[in-house]
């Protein structure tokens, strides 16, 4: 019943009468339909549609909390402030609350703020508590091994901020983009990729038979670079790969290697996008 503190995560709160309308107009996810007790994946994009910040958003009595990489919390609060204009909202990083994760049926104290991580049914829960309020029985590395085993990516580890589109980061598969809610920052580019099917690069699940390469290692087939590895744990990892180049390599029967070590890549079990099969054709 593991519970792990996540010191690499922090909270930004957006509260006040206009919190919903402000966030609905700038984030990729739909905050109006966000349920009580749910943590939903979302992002704030550049106008060109690339991910500046990814986070899990959940409700507070008077607004929302955004669970974000700790080194991005101040920047996220500042960026959201640029969109505030005359909206009646308060935006602030909250250093008083610790972030933790619980999975595999872990139980928590009644006073703990607990929300379900909606990215994957087996991912577990997020906990928001005063630091020291409970004892963790798992490590941050244990949590990331669990996440990686489920092929759930995370910004800064599996893709670079400011360089990846939501489709590349599988946000369309993990509930992080609402394609029907209307305008938000970067929406035009993301909608075009969705309707035209133009996402050529995707994060894939990776398996390593002879030891994992270092994160960020180039993935090659022969002399051609297909992509790079993301985070790894044991024999599992994630890999950001060009699907067209992968299709060519598979059709030619070439072995994929990263840092000289062979690997296999495939669509995560929850994903529905098309990718090449062993014959080089698109598999739905």
Domains of the chain, by residue range, sit at: 3-149, 200-283
Structure tokens at 271: 């994903």
**Residue 141, C-beta contacts closer than 8 angstroms, at least 6 positions apart:** 233
* pLDDT, position 104: 84
Tokens 């500046």, located at residue? 52
CATH architecture, range 3-149: 2-Layer Sandwich (3.30)
Closest by CA to 26, choosing from 169, 155, 166, 181, is: 181
What's the farthest any 2 CA atoms get from each other in the chain?
A: 59
* pLDDT, position 130: 82
Burial zone of 189 (CB within 10 Å; 0-12 exposed, 13-18 middle, 19+ buried): middle
Closest by CA to 231, choosing from 172, 168, 167, 155, is: 155
CATH class, domain 200-283, is mainly beta
- pLDDT mean for each 10 residues of the chain (284 residues): 91 98 98 96 98 98 98 97 95 94 70 88 93 80 97 97 97 97 95 91 95 94 96 96 95 94 95 74 36
* pLDDT, position 106: 56
């Amino acid at each position: 019943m593991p519970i792990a503190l996540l010191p690499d995560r922090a909270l930004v709160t957006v509260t006040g009468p206009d919190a919903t309308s402000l966030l609905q107009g700038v984030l990729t996810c739909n905050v109006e339909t966000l349920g009580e007790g749910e943590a939903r994946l979302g992002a704030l994009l550049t106008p060109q549609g690339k991910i500046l910040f990814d986070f899990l958003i959940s409700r507070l009595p008077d607004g929302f909390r955004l669970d974000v990489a700790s080194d991005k919390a101040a920047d996220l609060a500042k960026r959201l402030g640029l969109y505030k204009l005359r909206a009646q909202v308060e935006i602030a990083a909250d250093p008083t609350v610790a972030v933790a994760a619980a999975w595999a049926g872990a139980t928590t104290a009644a006073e703990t703020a607990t929300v379900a991580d909606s990215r994957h049914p087996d991912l577990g829960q997020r906990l928001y508590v005063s630091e020291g309020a409970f004892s963790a029985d798992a490590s941050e590395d244990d949590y990331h091994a669990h996440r990686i085993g489920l092929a759930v990516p995370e910004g800064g580890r599996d893709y670079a901020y400011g360089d990846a589109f939501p489709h590349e980061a599988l946000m369309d598969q993990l509930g992080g983009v609402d394609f029907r809610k209307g305008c938000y920052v970067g929406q035009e580019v993301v909608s075009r990729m969705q309707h035209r099917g133009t996402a050529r690069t995707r994060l894939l699940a990776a398996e390593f038979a002879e030891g994992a390469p270092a994160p960020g290692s180039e993935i090659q087939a022969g002399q051609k670079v297909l992509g790079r590895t993301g985070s790894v744990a044991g024999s599992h990892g994630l890999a950001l790969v060009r699907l067209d180049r992968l299709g060519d390599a598979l059709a030619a029967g070439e072995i994929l290697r990263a840092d000289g070590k062979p690997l296999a890549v495939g669509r995560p079990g929850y994903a529905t996008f098309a990718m090449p099969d062993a014959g080089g054709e698109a598999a739905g």
